[in-house]
Amino acid sequence: MKKLCPFINEECREQGCSLWGNLIGQHPQTGEQISQWECAINLIPVLLVENAQQARQVGAAIESFRNEVVSDNTKVLQLVAESAMQALPRN
């Protein structure tokens, strides 16, 4: 089956086109290893899924970091409060 180029509405020129490239890696939905030559336009959906997964992972890492910072700040504030209480003169 012939592949049609969406830009020139002719048969795909494959290696003769600057959008033709090799995608190597893991398919973001199936997890299978892939190495395929394909038009960059046809790879956009796969790359968008991968980008969304990476963004979710970054968001989760930031949330985890934030939780650690909040926990550490709470501990520091408790220590400061305890120190202040000990420094007060007692009657």
- Given this model, what pLDDT does residue 63 score? 97
**DSSP readout, 5-42?**
PTTTSSB--GGGSTTEEEEEEE-TTT--EEEEEEEHHH
pTM here? 0.64
User: pLDDT, tens digit, for every residue of 33-78?
Assistant: 989 899 999 889 888 988 999 999 999 999 999 999 999 999 999 9
- Given this model, what pLDDT does residue 33 score? 93
pLDDT at 6 over 70: yes
Check if the beta carbon of residue 21 is closer than 8 Å to that of residue 37: yes
Token pair of 33, please?
A: 């290893």
